[in-house]
Chain A
Amino acid sequence: MRFAFTEDQLLLRDTVRGLLARECPPDVVRSAWEARSGRAPSVWAKLAEAGVTAMTLSEASGGLGMDELDLALVLEEAGYAGLPDPLVETVAVGAPLLEAVGTAAQKERWLDAAAAGDALIAVGFEGQPFVPHAAVAAVALLHRGGDLYAVPREELPLEPQVSVDRSRPIARVDYAPDARHRVDAGDRAALDAAVGVAFDRAAWATSCVLLGLTRRMLDLAVQYAKDREQFGKPIGAQQAIKHHLATALIRQELARPLVYRAAWSLAHRDSVRDHGAHVSMAKVHAANAARHVAKTALQVHGAIGYTIEHDLHLFQKRAWALAAMYGDVGFHRARVGAATLPD
């Protein structure tokens, strides 16, 4: 038993943390809001230079062959920075899914480009009302009627919607399945398994991002409590504020180990029977912690936190959207229940 990341994994985290602190400050997130683009192209290019976009593809496909444990802390940092680009969909979910089940032509068209940072991938699972990032992705992987389709951007019928998080371009996609786009998984069981793993990766990777968002909102609130003075002293000297923030930290820190445990289970899914339940536990706690800290951080900030001028809402709105994405708390709790409760 050893529950800790390796030196290399921590080093990669530090690299990405430094890169995002320089390249993706709140102003950059705001410009994605203003442009409604969901993109921070210069940041994405830097991440690609650092190898992040190639992490999850195998070495045979020109990637780095890294696993969920390598990716976990990178995703968390992306959450902390509020990176608008689809790191979850492109790197954690789309690239490995396309590599696993795409046709030779599909892989040739998109994998190298994705690894190089030149192509984004969107994913739409059955029942998902919106496909985020579809408008900026080169290809959308859509699960429809039990089959999976890799649909190029120019053939995708998009009906853009407005997200509460304006840096998230979401769209309704009314796609009529077209055999030309179908992937080639061999048989149905193999495809179902691949899509199942992809969904678990999406829910888990979103949990990692939520952890980062949670930490950012808590950092903002703690800093504000130290700086803001009322009654002649910092508001953070008041027990009411201390207790709010202590509770927020507990929620965050008790979500973290479940998210990391799920990373391990996904990376070892051949031998871990319950990896789906582990992912769901992670998503329940990460989503609940993020929503809790979003409320606490706003309360600690008071009225200034209730403005567009302040950065808090950038992270708060992302957290609300992601808490419900790829299975909300009710969905994932039910999945844990199915694995643990008597029928």
Chain B
Amino acid sequence: MDLTFTERENAFRAECRAWLERHVPKESLGSGDTREGFARHLEWERELFDAGWAAVSWPKEYGGREASLFEWLIFEEEYYRAGAPNRVTQNGIFLLAPTLFEFGTEEQKARILRPMARGDVTWGQGWSEPNAGSDLASLRSTARRVEGGWLLSGQKTWCTRGAFCDMAYGLFRTDPAQKRHHGLTYFMFPLHGEGVTVRGVDRLDGDEGFAELFLDELFVPDRDVIGEVNQGWYVAMATTSSERGLTLRSPGRFMATASRLVDLYGRYRASAEPALRDAVIDAWIDAEAYRWYTFQTVTHMVDGQDVGASSSLNKVFWSEMDVRTHETALALIGDRLELDIDHDAPESAGDAVDEGAWMRGFEFALAGPIYAGTNEIQRNIIAERVLGLPRK
């Protein structure tokens, strides 16, 4: 065990920190899940890409730095420590890209990765359907074989930032004779043009972040199939474990939240009851636990061990920790907690920016136990695949 960072890792951290200090926007970009905010975030994503920070762990040919997993974690710590904007490209960079690296052709990687990382082509995920949420394998969208490609039909929903994105990816039934996990294929498809209608849905937090996608014989060429036809479920599983796991939620984000909570406590401690002080400390310890848990997981990955279903464990922890941390912040803020951020006035100053950010963060945190596979599904996975309890 060696819990110090190497000289190379320390130098990498210093380089990240120095660049972020100079370039992170001083003014908030607002929510990345509104049309205007999304556009502002994309400008930031381009600046990140052009300086080589958009996807640090990727190969250089696709715009990365070939950073190690530990360096990637360091980048994330510095990124959130610097208060940099949330990544609106994450559903491409952190969810689709790992699948392309594992299953994509050279042509697909060459065509898709750089524009994805630069935010020139933005990606939403198209997993859920109106009647296929937790039970994803019951999905009904289909793809019918035609000359040179496929015609996609059906309805997808909860497509994050789908109202603004250019492209999406998801599973479609290509073999109607096969049931459930079998006979599905992984497609990439456009969100504009003939055969596709996109309808934004206002989320609980007020942003038009979600979209419903209506596909009616949308043509997709063969080159936009990832992996083999009828093997989509197995291809997709690679992505979902990334989504639950550390690629979606590195510890840096929660360490930054815990650190902001400590600052908030500093401002409100005169009115804070002792139990709240305890909750603030517990939030700090939880963030530390998640950080070291992740270093342990990454060490196992570096050693070539299969971390498998443990990504479910990690998803339940971070999502519930995030809710607790925000609940503690709101309890500190007390009866001022109802202050919200005014979307129509991004320059809104004063209390609302900070206190409102906690309410907004709380609303977003509440989505954590739901998205990327509900925590109930994750607990089933933990019980069956880690603890070995019977399925039936």
Q: Are A255 and B289 in contact (CB under 8 A)?
A: yes
Of the candidates A222, A242, A330, A337, the one whose C-beta lies within 8 Å of that of B380 is A242
Of the candidates B280, B284, B292, B384, the one whose C-beta lies within 8 Å of that of A257 is B292
| Chain A window 249-266, contacts with chain B (Cβ cutoff 8 Å), 1 for yes, 0 for no | 110011111101101110
Q: Are A264 and B277 in contact (CB under 8 A)?
A: no
B193 contacts chain A at the CB level, 8 A cutoff: no
Q: Which of B41-49, B163-171, B211-219, B294-302 contacts A (4 or more CB under 8 A)?
A: B294-302
How many angstroms between the C-alpha atoms of A263 and B292 in the bound complex? Answer: 13
A residues in contact with B302, CB < 8 Å = 2
Q: Are B278 and A250 in contact (CB under 8 A)?
A: no
Q: Are B281 and A261 in contact (CB under 8 A)?
A: no
Interface size on B, residues (CB 8 A): 50
B residues in contact with A284, CB < 8 Å = 282, 285
How many angstroms between the C-alpha atoms of A95 and B281 in the bound complex? Answer: 33
List residues of A whose CB falls within 8 A of some B CB: 1-6, 69, 222, 225-226, 233-234, 236-237, 239, 241-243, 245-247, 249-250, 253-258, 260-261, 263-265, 268, 281, 284-285, 330, 333-334, 336-337, 340-342
Ordered by A's residue number, 15 sampled pairs between the chains whose C-beta atoms are within 8 Å are A1-B6, A4-B300, A226-B389, A226-B390, A233-B390, A236-B390, A239-B380, A242-B380, A246-B382, A247-B379, A256-B293, A333-B282, A337-B277, A340-B281, A341-B277
Q: Are A1 and B388 in contact (CB under 8 A)?
A: no
Q: Which of B18-26, B239-247, B261-269, B337-345 contacts A (4 or more CB under 8 A)?
A: B261-269
B residues in contact with A234, CB < 8 Å = 389-390
List residues of B whose CB falls within 8 A of some A CB: 1-6, 9, 70, 262, 265-266, 269, 277-278, 280-282, 284-286, 288-290, 292-293, 295-296, 298-300, 302-303, 310, 313, 316-317, 376, 378-380, 382-384, 386-392
Q: Could you say which of A5, A249, A284 has the most chain B C-beta atoms within 10 Å of its C-beta?
A: A249
Of the candidates A257, A334, A342, the one whose C-beta lies within 8 Å of that of B269 is A342
| Chain A nearest CB, measured from B293 CB (Å) | 5
How many angstroms between the C-alpha atoms of A254 and B262 in the bound complex? Answer: 21
| Complex A-B, nearest 6 residue pairs according to Cβ-Cβ distance, in ascending order | A242-B383, A257-B292, A246-B379, A246-B382, A236-B389, A342-B266
A residues in contact with B383, CB < 8 Å = 236, 241-243, 245-246
A residues in contact with B6, CB < 8 Å = 1
| Chain A nearest CB, measured from B232 CB (Å) | 27
How many angstroms between the C-alpha atoms of A255 and B282 in the bound complex? Answer: 12
Q: Are A333 and B278 in contact (CB under 8 A)?
A: yes
Q: Are A3 and B389 in contact (CB under 8 A)?
A: no
How many angstroms between the C-alpha atoms of A334 and B274 in the bound complex? Answer: 11
Q: Are B1 and A281 in contact (CB under 8 A)?
A: no
B residues in contact with A264, CB < 8 Å = 1, 3
Q: Are B313 and A249 in contact (CB under 8 A)?
A: yes
State whether A1 and B317 are in contact (beta carbons under 8 Å apart), knowing that A222-B388, A281-B288 are contacts in the complex.
no
Q: Are A3 and B288 in contact (CB under 8 A)?
A: no
B residues in contact with A249, CB < 8 Å = 313, 382, 386-387
B residues in contact with A242, CB < 8 Å = 379-380, 382-384, 387, 389
| Chain A nearest CB, measured from B14 CB (Å) | 16
B residues in contact with A239, CB < 8 Å = 376, 379-380
B residues in contact with A341, CB < 8 Å = 262, 265-266, 269, 277, 280-281
Q: Are B2 and A2 in contact (CB under 8 A)?
A: yes
Q: What DSSP secondary structure best describes chain B's contact surface? A: helix
Q: How many contacts between A and B, using CB within 8 angstroms?
A: 149
How many angstroms between the C-alpha atoms of A337 and B295 in the bound complex? Answer: 24
A residues in contact with B392, CB < 8 Å = 233, 237
B residues in contact with A253, CB < 8 Å = 293, 310, 313
B280's nearest neighbour on chain A, judged by CB, is: A341
How many angstroms between the C-alpha atoms of A268 and B4 in the bound complex? Answer: 11
Q: Are B382 and A336 in contact (CB under 8 A)?
A: no
How many angstroms between the C-alpha atoms of A3 and B302 in the bound complex? Answer: 10
B residues in contact with A257, CB < 8 Å = 289, 292-293, 295-296
B381's nearest neighbour on chain A, judged by CB, is: A246
B286's nearest neighbour on chain A, judged by CB, is: A254
B residues in contact with A246, CB < 8 Å = 313, 316, 378-380, 382-383, 386-387
A residues in contact with B389, CB < 8 Å = 222, 225-226, 234, 236-237, 241-242, 245
State whether A254 and B289 are in contact (beta carbons under 8 Å apart), knowing that A249-B386, A260-B1 are contacts in the complex.
yes
Of the candidates A1, A243, A258, the one whose C-beta lies within 8 Å of that of B289 is A258
B263's nearest neighbour on chain A, judged by CB, is: A342
Q: Are B281 and A333 in contact (CB under 8 A)?
A: yes
B residues in contact with A342, CB < 8 Å = 262, 265-266, 269
B residues in contact with A226, CB < 8 Å = 388-390
State whether A1 and B9 are in contact (beta carbons under 8 Å apart), knowing that A249-B382, A260-B296, A340-B262 are contacts in the complex.
yes
A239's nearest neighbour on chain B, judged by CB, is: B380
Q: Are B382 and A1 in contact (CB under 8 A)?
A: no
A238's nearest neighbour on chain B, judged by CB, is: B389
B residues in contact with A285, CB < 8 Å = 285, 289
A residues in contact with B4, CB < 8 Å = 1
B292's nearest neighbour on chain A, judged by CB, is: A257
B315's nearest neighbour on chain A, judged by CB, is: A250
How many angstroms between the C-alpha atoms of A257 and B288 in the bound complex? Answer: 9
Q: Are A4 and B1 in contact (CB under 8 A)?
A: yes
How many angstroms between the C-alpha atoms of A320 and B288 in the bound complex? Answer: 25
| Chain A nearest CB, measured from B295 CB (Å) | 4
A residues in contact with B2, CB < 8 Å = 1-2
Of the candidates B293, B295, B376, the one whose C-beta lies within 8 Å of that of A243 is B376
How many angstroms between the C-alpha atoms of A197 and B281 in the bound complex? Answer: 23
